[in-house]
Amino acid sequence: MAIYALAITIIFIIFPALLILLVKQLSYLANEKLVNTFGFNSQIYVGGLGVIIHELSHLLSISKRQSLQEDTLIHLRGELL
């Protein structure tokens, strides 16, 4: 039972915590390099570009999902006729 509890602790607490620390460090290093290379305002420009790309990905996934739903409805209507 103690081994099971230890495994659960490692899987659900320690491993995610290590991943968070790794991502935090990578983010810090990337931000530092960005500012040192292109200046302080580069954070705003790159962040804005990131927001646009992120929101476009939502748009693409929604349009793809709607296309699949329409194809399914057409297919189902064909079977019903």
* DSSP line for the chain: -HHHHHHHHIIIIIHHHHHHHHHHHHHHHHHHHHHHHH-TTHHHHHHHHHHHHHHHHHHHHHHHHHHHHHHHHHHHHHHH-
Supply angle C-alpha 57, 63, 69, rounded to 5: 135
Averaged over 64-72, what is the pLDDT?
Answer: 73
Tens digit of each residue's pLDDT (9 = 90 or more) over 15-46: 999 999 999 999 999 999 999 999 999 999 99
Q: List, in order, residues 6 or more apart from 34 with CB less than 8 Å away.
A: 42, 43, 46
pTM of the model: 0.59
